[in-house]
Amino acid sequence: MNIAINIPLVGKEEIDAVTNILKKGALTSSSNQGGKHVQEFEKSASSFVKSKYAIAVNSGTAALQAALYALDIKKGDEVLVPSFTFVATANAVVSTGAKPVFVDILKENYTIDPDDIQKKITKKTRAIIPVHLYGNVANIERLSEISKKNNIPIIEDSAQSLGSTYKRKHTGTFFEMGCYSMYPAKVMTAGEGGFIVTNNKKLRDKLLMIRNHGMVHGYDTKVFGLNLRLPEINAAIATVQMKKLPGFLKSRKNNAQLLSKLISDLKIQLPQQRKNENTNWYLYTITTKKRDLLLKKLNQKGIGAASYYPTPVHKTPFYKLKTKLPVTDWAAKNVLSLPIHPNVTKKNIEFIAKTMHEILSK
């Protein structure tokens, strides 16, 4: 048996959409508004998360970069980010010339700690990037208080939380901008891709320029920009996937509920949803002091369990910082994610649970 942690779920519809574009030959567009399929995808994305605007780009990292550029983040500025996340969040900040300042996380759901944010705000702080890690929603109320009190804009890193809501409002739509990823392992994919959502027309217009070398009508660069455009092929895949997304999310939720029921008697910390929170179950993440043993044994049985992230960003060779982040260090040693994507069957879930009982009962 081989149960992957996450796989792209691509069918005939996506293949047909790509084939049609290849036959027509319009693979991309350098127009300000983007190509036909990019525009179609943006409409579907903004409709799904209920934002006024969606701006498609070629990766989740590009989405973060574009959002930072839109806020004019530059050298000498500081941006508060969690260390317990994928490195792209911090790298996007470094790419602007600004300094990422690493913040600890909350033990209950691995999202950024508002108390630690408060301690690390300085006169140089120009933005905060909370990450809705594993699909869990960061503390929106506290973040809103901090943002208003200090007049600091917030960019939501929603790369892992497409479909997650708090009080029925989608992650990515609470503050200035929200950034999503459509990498193959995410809850839906474009092959590679990302998008930014906002309700601010000025930001939207600026983001359209930023993704296209700062241009509006060609060769009239008005702001700093790069080629962050999403190709038409990827946009077409994403449009099909967006239609399937509600079904994907329902399958993940059902699998998560079944797995929780079957392993609730084990001495591990199960994923918890806060009141008014509805997660997308991108990663079903537990914590256990026997993480390394459990990971090894599950993998030997063909169960694609994985640890996200055993090395926090601030401890990677590029950053090498001695910042004290105790909860981050705890999580890095204890978290383990289990497969619950839509291709995981009831039989698979039962096998995962049975195997975990066998390992942890010894």
State how far Cα 318 lies from the chain centre: 22
Residue type, 41: F
Give the integer Cα–Cα distance in Å for 197 and 216.
19
Give the CATH number for residue 260.
Answer: 3.90.1150.10
Q: Where residue 145 sits, what CATH number does that domain have?
A: 3.40.640.10
Q: Is the pTM of this model over 0.85?
A: yes
Nearest to 144 by CA among 181, 183, 173, 180: 173
48 and 193 in a single domain? The answer is yes
- Let me know whether 259 and 167 are in one domain: no
Q: List per-residue pLDDT tens for the chain, 362 residues long.
A: 799 999 999 999 999 999 999 999 999 999 999 999 999 999 999 999 999 999 999 999 999 999 999 999 999 999 999 999 999 999 999 999 999 999 999 999 999 999 999 999 999 999 999 999 999 999 999 999 999 999 999 999 999 999 999 999 999 999 999 999 999 999 999 999 999 999 999 999 999 999 999 999 989 999 999 999 999 999 999 999 999 999 999 999 999 999 999 999 999 999 999 999 999 999 999 999 999 999 999 999 999 999 999 999 999 999 999 999 999 999 999 999 999 999 999 999 999 999 999 999 87
Residues 202 and 273 reside in one and the same domain: no
Question: Is residue 337 in a domain?
Answer: yes
**What would the pLDDT profile of 275-300 be if each residue is shown by its tens digit?**
999 999 999 999 999 999 999 999 99
Among candidate residues 194, 225, 240, the one where a domain is terminated: 240
Q: Are 333 and 327 in contact (CB under 8 A)?
A: no
**Could you tell me the two tokens for 85?**
């996340």
Centre a 10 Å sphere on the Cβ of residue 72 and count the other Cβ atoms it contains: 12
User: Is 194 found in the same domain as 135?
Assistant: yes
* Whether 50 and 21 share a structural domain: yes
Domain membership of residue 3 (yes or no) is no
* Domain assignment present for 104: yes
The answer as to whether 90 is a domain residue is: yes
Question: Which of 240, 272, 296 represents a domain boundary (last residue)?
Answer: 240
Q: Which of 240, 275, 302 is the last residue of a domain?
A: 240
pLDDT of residue 361: 87
- Do 235 and 335 reside in the same domain of the chain? no
Please check whether residue 42 is in contact with residue 34, taking contact to mean a CB–CB distance below 8 angstroms: yes
Is residue 97 located within the same domain as residue 196? Answer: yes
Q: Are 83 and 103 in contact (CB under 8 A)?
A: yes
User: In this structure, are 275 and 201 located in the same domain?
Assistant: no
Q: How far is CA 67 from CA 114, 155, 230, 253, in A?
A: 21, 7, 16, 30
* Number of compact structural domains in the chain: 2
Residue 2 is assigned to a structural domain of this protein: no
Do 294 and 326 have their domain in common?
A: yes
Give the pair of three-digit tokens for residue 198: 């906002």
Query: Cα torsion for 41, 43, 45, 48, to the nearest 10°?
Result: -140
One domain for residues 224 and 347 = no
Please name which of 265, 258, 287 lies closest in space to residue 346, comparing C-alpha atoms: 258
Distance (Å, rounded) from C-alpha 288 to C-alpha 202? 46
Q: Are 245 and 163 in contact (CB under 8 A)?
A: yes
Residue numbers of the domain that contains 143: 12-240
- What whole-number distance in Å separates Cα of residue 111 and Cα of residue 291? 20
**Which helix (H) or strand (E) is 179 found in, with range?**
strand 177-181
Query: How many Cα atoms sit within 13 Å of 111 on the Cβ side?
Result: 28
3-state DSSP assignment of residue 315: helix
Residues 209 and 356 in one domain: no
Residue 302, domain member (yes or no):
yes
Domain assignment present for residue 4? The answer is no
pLDDT at 126: 98
Cα(198)–Cα(187) distance, integer angstroms:
21
Burial class (CB in 10 A: 0-12, 13-18, 19+), 120: middle
Residue 362: per-residue pLDDT: 75
Same domain, 128 and 42: yes
In 3D space, the residue among 244, 243, 262, 251 whose CA is nearest the CA of residue 341 turns out to be: 251
Whether residue 251 is contained in a domain is answered as yes
Does an H or E element contain 55, and which?
A: strand 53-57
What is the rounded distance in angstroms from the CA atom of residue 204 to the CA atom of residue 209?
A: 9
